Amino acid sequence: MIRFCLALAAVFISGAAPSAAQEGFGGLARLNAEASAITAKRGELRIQLALSQGVPFRIFTLDAPARFVIDFREVDWAGTLGPELVQTDLVRAARVGGFRPGWSRMVLELAGPFALVHAVLNTGAADGSADLVLTLAHTSPEAFAEGAGVPDPQPGWDLPPPADVGAAPARAPGAPLVVVLDPGHGGIDPGADAGGTLEKDLMLGFARELREALLRAGDIDVVLTRDDDSFVSLERRVSIAHSARADLFLSLHADSLGEGSARGATIYKLSADASDAASAALAERHNRADMLAGIDLSGTDDVVADMLMDLARMETQPRADLMARALVVGLKDAGLPVNSRPLRSASFSVLKSPDIPSILLELGFLSNGRDLGNLTDPAWRGNMAQAITDAIKAWMIADAANSRLVRQ
Ligand SMILES: [Zn+2]
């Protein structure tokens, strides 16, 4: 019965919704968050989204953990991040936001196996607004698993394939150092939120400023893992670094820490064992980003398990250690605020490249007022970009000297 209803919903979705959008007033459909809610009644889950106009959408589910995904072409979420729409324990986590340019996504992490039983897009209001109402009912874990997965390619519904980065040619001796800068989060994954100031936006801006500082320093090429507000999976961030044959991978963050009054820059390197509980929690939160963005993780190996194997054959780790220490010294020399325990380690998936020294830099904590003030101050960011550039230059020299020593 559930399968039959799903088929009906699919016909409705591919037929009616696009024409509704074509007859719309143009421009982006905008969510009215006040008139939207995710609620439960008698064990059924109800997703009601009030949109300023009809918009094409598609629906699918993902397993392990159970998630419900709606893709839209394209919705302005009007500052809504997702959690504020949820009024039921049947949804553990919710995210809404951009996915790739022209595409938006809603992802709900479900408390159990649920299947779509009814979908309707009510249009016809004089102002052109549209009400999308989806009803989900409990199903068996087996049925859920069977129905889960990213849909087969549908005409007009395929997300654009990620641009093929392609491997760069092997570099000549004396060629510029390649630094891959990784602005944390992006698109549907906002990162930390300090009263509307989002980590993803701050880090994209800072990565661009740091790119300029590095290019000015000379002898350095810079590649960004994202240069717009798109979602980029953790795996893809790592693969971009490999394709660019990076000498150094630097992930840029400014997270929130709930407990305590953490402040100042913190430098993380990869380790199977986190240096403290807060570091472990931070890594866990970052590693969940792909899951919460609706990426199908089935069939991919546990990246952290891979990393443990990689660690065993890593000669990269001492080079990453050297970079981490160069950053602490560089920031302190520049008089920039450094955390009281600046060197930490945790199992961040994005640092798992076995052959590229990889560091995650928390520039400061958005949960700390002083750090937030610094991060939103262009002059402070300029000093920070220069200090990181100086640290990378110092590391280049030390790393080259070390590699000569190793070869002798
Ligand atoms: Zn972050």
Spatial CA neighbour of 343 closest among 251, 394, 268: 268
The tokens for 293 are 């963005």
DSSP string for 353-379: -SSS-EEEEE---TTSHHHHHHHT-HH
The tokens for 140 are 């068996």
Spatial CA neighbour of 220 closest among 402, 357, 393: 393
SS3 39: strand
The tokens for 290 are 């792909």
Between the CA of 362 and the centroid of ligand 1 the distance, in Å, is 8
Between the CA of 191 and the centroid of ligand 1 the distance, in Å, is 5
SS3 34: helix
Between the CA of 107 and the centroid of ligand 1 the distance, in Å, is 19
Amino acid at 132: L
Between the CA of 307 and the centroid of ligand 1 the distance, in Å, is 20
Q: Considering Cα of 328, then 331, then 334, then 336, what sign does the dihedral take? A: negative
The tokens for 112 are 């159990």
Between the CA of 62 and the centroid of ligand 1 the distance, in Å, is 24
Q: How many CB atoms lie within 10 A of CB 367?
A: 20
Between the CA of 218 and the centroid of ligand 1 the distance, in Å, is 29
The tokens for 320 are 């990453």
Spatial CA neighbour of 38 closest among 80, 90, 96: 90
What does pTM read for this prediction? Answer: 0.86
Q: Mind listing the pLDDT tens digit of every residue in the chain (408 residues)? A: 344 334 334 434 433 333 333 344 457 899 999 999 999 999 999 999 999 999 989 999 999 999 999 999 889 998 899 999 999 999 999 999 998 888 899 999 999 999 999 999 998 788 899 999 999 999 999 999 999 998 887 776 766 555 555 555 666 777 899 999 999 999 999 999 999 999 999 999 999 999 999 999 999 999 999 999 999 999 899 999 999 999 999 999 999 986 657 899 999 998 888 899 889 999 999 988 989 999 887 765 555 556 655 664 567 888 999 999 999 999 999 999 999 999 999 989 899 888 899 999 999 999 999 999 999 999 999 999 999 999 999 999 998 888 777 665
The tokens for 53 are 């106009």
Between the CA of 356 and the centroid of ligand 1 the distance, in Å, is 20
